[in-house]
Structure 1
Amino acid sequence: MESDTQYEDKWPAAKAVGPAALLSRRRFALVAWVALVMVSVGGLATFIMYTSHPATQITETMDVLRNHTHSPPSPQSHVAGGPTMSFRENLRADTQYITSWVSAGWTNDVFTYINLIYLGIITDRVPIIAEFIPSHIGGHVPPIPFGKVFDVPRLRNLLGRSVLEWREVKDPNSTFVDDIGCWNVWEAVQYREAYPRRSRSINDVKLDISFTKAPTWIKMIPNYEHDQHVTFWSLARLAFPSTRAASLVTPLPSPKHNVSLPPDEHLLCYDYPWRFVGQYLHWTPELEQLTNAYVRRAFGITEDSPMPPFISIHVRHYDFEAWCGGVPIQECFAPLPVIARRVREVKDEIFTRTGKVVNHVVMTSDERNATWWQEVAQLGWFTPDHSETKETYGEWYPPLIDATIQSQGVGFVGTDRSTMSIIAARRVEAWQNGPIRLVKWGTPGADDH
């Protein structure tokens, strides 16, 4: 069981080759975006990258989105009614759907759902989003619904499209096990595991899945062991009849009922897309209010005091230690003076852009060394007090509050190659129009510049 403070996904910090991400022992790593050319995917098994003709595809994507700028119908208009014992009883015959599963640590699971929604847009299907599972904090912790973390009604309004949660489609208390066929992307892109990507959510939703291995042409570099990349458009092609029919092979029998089913056409599903979706994925008002209370307490101001602007920091240390190789920890991780230099850069950029002086800095980190935290305090930086968070609100909330704090900064300094930092940086850029920096690490002087 992982500690609740070890709340990030355990993905490696090895060197990237080109714009692609890195391979881990058990998972591929989501590392970065390159402008509009690359969009990361968490649970859909790999990075998804625009290829061949990126400019053309970006134009097509924008056309798709412009066609869906109308006000969205209510979620009830895309299901037959309230949650049912079998999901099929609740799907409308005139609507097509898409879903996938998560199993890669919370931040990467957020990427998965962003990517799933995006894939729904380009295939004109209604995404059905499952819960977040506690792969980062331990299996004893209950899952948390997507809509308890993110403001789904606001997302629907901003996208102009319906987005459903599984709990709106199938009764969470149902014991009925639905049979369904899904695409197995995981085996098509990597060669170490000869089975579909596994996820607790499949059992939580009570599904018995017969997987069909996706064709190898979905890979960026077919037959290349060290590539685990696919394109959105190759996955999207599997949603349409001609490509689907040409790609069918013998499905694997499902584990419970031993049925072999081709990938479902009504509810398209994959075992395992930010710019167009992620910026609209805002926190729930309740989570924002709770986070604001934590920040105000850290600043020592009253609940009704205006919130001063601050720069947020995310330093990831704990599980990255394993990826330092033979480099001593004190030389592998960027020291606080290096991080402080990046903070000064962000402060200067904010002043240059806006003329505003930002005096408050909030540190979030998984670091456990008390001396390190004392040094943070000596810099005059603030930290949220999580001493009673888990006991008061539950084990999901230390990472949720930290992630919300990170997104509220008018500027942000994060850790290079950490997906939690990457997604925080995108939020600050999109929501706050703030400058960002990602601190490099791994060798002495890695962030020298």
Structure 2
Amino acid sequence: MFFSKGRKLSLKTICTALTAVSLFSFGNFLLKPSSSDRLDIHGTPTQSTIFDSRLYVQGPPTQRFRDNLRNDTKYITSWGSAGWTNDVITYANLIYLALITERMPIIPKFLSNHIDPSAPPFVFGEVFDVPRLSQAIGIHLLQWHEVKDPESQVLDDLGCWTVWETVQQNIESPEPRLNPSLDVLKLDISWTRTPHWVELISPSGKHDNHASFWPLASLGFPEARSNSLSLSLKNRPSPHHQVSLPPDDHVLCFDLLYYVGAYHTWEWELDYSPAWRFVGQHMRWTASMEQIADAHARHAMNVPPLIEPTPPYISVHIRHGDFSQQCGQIPVDQCFAPLSVIARRVSEVQEELRTHKGIDVTHVIMTSDERDPKWWSEVRALGWTWVDYRAERTEEIYGKWHPVFIDAIIQSNGAGFVGTRGSTMSTLASRRVESWHDGATRLVSWGWPGADDH
């Protein structure tokens, strides 16, 4: 790469050039696992290295989070506030940023803002197998409850970057993305707006409220951080202590990392997505969660427990609910794909599995937020089944979170999958079935009559 002599390059130009080189070298590194770092995605990791996150804190959780941080380690964190599946994507994006900044991620608990406000926060590591994830991606992961005592009432000051305020192009007076996790963790944040060059502009030139990974990552290194802070970026005083702090260097933090991509907006829908390839596909369920979901799936298919293996099935996810708001003037019954269209997609998946894998899959398990009893009776008429969480007393036995977790696990463990285009839950299920089980997948289009005709 050559530059004309004496020409002063902008920080944005440098970041763009470094992005291409770094993505190439980083991708080659991760796509060539050594013999001691291979992962069998259908089983367990082949090496026995123990990843102990406790090595990267001073000891047990403390009243003030800083008291538990090591001086020889740099950290990175963020918080989710967009529903559970979107928060899973957010945390995977956070971990990917940790990889490319060589920092230790600190992951918050999941909050139930899209399930039931009465449900307590749920620990990331009780859903996802953290030791396995650490081993697969080659770095340790911390969780906030390992750093700061969850019962602490000490309000900690922290300076963070706000991405949301920068990328919200359509709002006259944008503000940082507020997050209830900050109240749970007792954090008093002073926000600094990220430079404008972190914004991701799609190849078509469209501004779509996204930021780009590598410009964000550059803020975790001395030069870009120093140059950015020299731009006289304003620090918002923290809401409680009213202190104005620059973004912390020891704990690099951002308000929201859901709307982030490497090259394109809504990148998790695309097959090259680095956050999916290098992090997301390695976020496997804990063994206990797998067992609970498998028991529910077997019961739904009327398979006796512990007598025969769980038969292969096709999982289906049909999202209606809030998607009806996107139908505009089109009646809902014409906006959403009818069951006959969904059944055609299921038949395609069955045929692909029969042709390419030699398996005949007859079981179909439906997951959906549809509440119309008539619709469900039509599902039954197709010979399909579903988990009856009320009859199983799932919430009573396990808690309010578990129906959502079980749905996601059942979706991910299908030999094939049919989902709803535009739903992140379907996007993740499709990715998991393809990656984990070499399965056949389809996403059903909707929005107008005949949207899925093909």
Q: TM-score, normalised by structure 2?
A: 0.84
2:121 is matched with which residue: 124, 130, 143? 143
Say if 1:148 and 1:169 are closer, same or farther in 2 by CA, change over 3 A: same
Encode CA deviations 1:409-433: one digit per residue, 9 max, x unaligned: 0110000000110011111111111
Report % sequence identity: 53
1:213 aligns with 2:193: yes
Matches within 5 A, 1:85-96: 85-96=63-74
In structure 1, C-alpha distance between the alignment counterparts of 2:419 and 2:129, rounded to whole Å:
25
Match of 2:211 in 1: 230
In structure 1, C-alpha distance between the alignment counterparts of 2:385 and 2:331, rounded to whole Å:
28
Q: Secondary structure of 2:26's partner?
A: helix
TM-superposed deviation, 1:51? 7.2
1:197 aligns with 2:177: yes
Q: Is contact 2:417–2:430 with CA below 8 Å preserved after alignment?
A: yes
Which sits farther off after the overlay, 384-393 or 410-419?
384-393
Q: Secondary structure of 1:358's partner?
A: coil
Match of 2:397 in 1: 392
Match of 2:441 in 1: 436
In structure 2, C-alpha distance between the alignment counterparts of 1:376 and 1:55, rounded to whole Å:
48
Encode CA deviations 1:72-107: one digit per residue, 9 max, x unaligned: 642111111111111111111111100001101111
Unaligned ranges ≥5, structure 1: 1-49
Encode CA deviations 1:112-166: one digit per residue, 9 max, x unaligned: 0000000000000010000001111232221111112111111112112101100
Q: Secondary structure of 1:233's partner?
A: helix
1:252 aligns with 2:236: yes
Q: Is contact 1:190–1:225 with CA below 8 Å preserved after alignment?
A: no
Q: Is contact 2:100–2:217 with CA below 8 Å preserved after alignment?
A: yes
Higher relative contact order (CA 8 A, sep 6+): 1
Match of 2:342 in 1: 339
In structure 2, C-alpha distance between the alignment counterparts of 1:156 and 1:347, rounded to whole Å:
35
Say if 1:418 and 1:231 are closer, same or farther in 2 by CA, change over 3 A: same
2:134 is matched with which residue: 156, 166, 174? 156
Say if 1:320 and 1:391 are closer, same or farther in 2 by CA, change over 3 A: same
Q: Secondary structure of 2:159's partner?
A: strand
Q: Is contact 1:87–1:178 with CA below 8 Å preserved after alignment?
A: yes
TM-superposed deviation, 1:252? 0.8
In structure 2, C-alpha distance between the alignment counterparts of 1:266 and 1:206, rounded to whole Å:
18
1:424 aligns with 2:429: yes
TM-superposed deviation, 1:53? 8.8
- Opposite residue 109 of structure 1, the aligned amino acid is D
Encode CA deviations 1:38-73: one digit per residue, 9 max, x unaligned: xxxxxxxxxxxx977976453232245369966464
Q: Secondary structure of 1:127's partner?
A: strand
1:327 aligns with 2:308: no
- Opposite residue 111 of structure 1, the aligned amino acid is I
- Opposite residue 238 of structure 2, the aligned amino acid is S
In structure 2, C-alpha distance between the alignment counterparts of 1:56 and 1:351, rounded to whole Å:
42
TM-superposed deviation, 1:182? 0.3
Q: Is contact 1:51–1:231 with CA below 8 Å preserved after alignment?
A: no
1:286 aligns with 2:288: yes
- Opposite residue 25 of structure 2, the aligned amino acid is E
In structure 2, C-alpha distance between the alignment counterparts of 1:72 and 1:300, rounded to whole Å:
39
1:134 aligns with 2:107: no
TM-superposed deviation, 1:392? 2.5
TM-superposed deviation, 1:221? 3.4
Q: Give the length in aligned residue pairs.
A: 399
In structure 2, C-alpha distance between the alignment counterparts of 1:197 and 1:121, rounded to whole Å:
24
TM-superposed deviation, 1:386? 1.0
Unaligned ranges ≥5, structure 2: 1-14, 38-48, 257-274
In structure 1, C-alpha distance between the alignment counterparts of 2:107 and 2:62, rounded to whole Å:
16
- Opposite residue 325 of structure 1, the aligned amino acid is G
Which sits farther off after the overlay, 66-75 or 422-431?
66-75
1:349 aligns with 2:352: yes
In structure 2, C-alpha distance between the alignment counterparts of 1:427 and 1:51, rounded to whole Å:
31
Q: Secondary structure of 1:128's partner?
A: strand
In structure 2, C-alpha distance between the alignment counterparts of 1:225 and 1:203, rounded to whole Å:
35
In structure 1, C-alpha distance between the alignment counterparts of 2:294 and 2:107, rounded to whole Å:
27
In structure 1, C-alpha distance between the alignment counterparts of 2:363 and 2:249, rounded to whole Å:
52
Q: TM-score, normalised by structure 1?
A: 0.85
Q: Is contact 1:65–1:121 with CA below 8 Å preserved after alignment?
A: no
Q: Is contact 1:182–1:268 with CA below 8 Å preserved after alignment?
A: yes
Say if 1:379 and 1:141 are closer, same or farther in 2 by CA, change over 3 A: same
In structure 2, C-alpha distance between the alignment counterparts of 1:118 and 1:153, rounded to whole Å:
16
1:265 aligns with 2:249: yes
Which sits farther off after the overlay, 388-397 or 399-408?
388-397
Match of 2:41 in 1: none
Match of 1:23 in 2: none
- Opposite residue 299 of structure 1, the aligned amino acid is M
TM-superposed deviation, 1:194? 2.4
- Opposite residue 429 of structure 2, the aligned amino acid is A
In structure 2, C-alpha distance between the alignment counterparts of 1:51 and 1:231, rounded to whole Å:
10
Q: Is contact 1:68–1:161 with CA below 8 Å preserved after alignment?
A: no
Q: Is contact 1:316–1:418 with CA below 8 Å preserved after alignment?
A: yes
Q: Is contact 2:160–2:191 with CA below 8 Å preserved after alignment?
A: yes
Match of 1:406 in 2: 411
Q: Secondary structure of 1:268's partner?
A: strand
In structure 2, C-alpha distance between the alignment counterparts of 1:421 and 1:51, rounded to whole Å:
32
In structure 2, C-alpha distance between the alignment counterparts of 1:55 and 1:174, rounded to whole Å:
43
Say if 1:397 and 1:257 are closer, same or farther in 2 by CA, change over 3 A: same
Say if 1:341 and 1:53 are closer, same or farther in 2 by CA, change over 3 A: farther
Q: Is contact 1:296–1:307 with CA below 8 Å preserved after alignment?
A: yes
2:27 is matched with which residue: 58, 62, 66? 62
CA RMSD of aligned residues (A): 2.0
1:315 aligns with 2:280: no
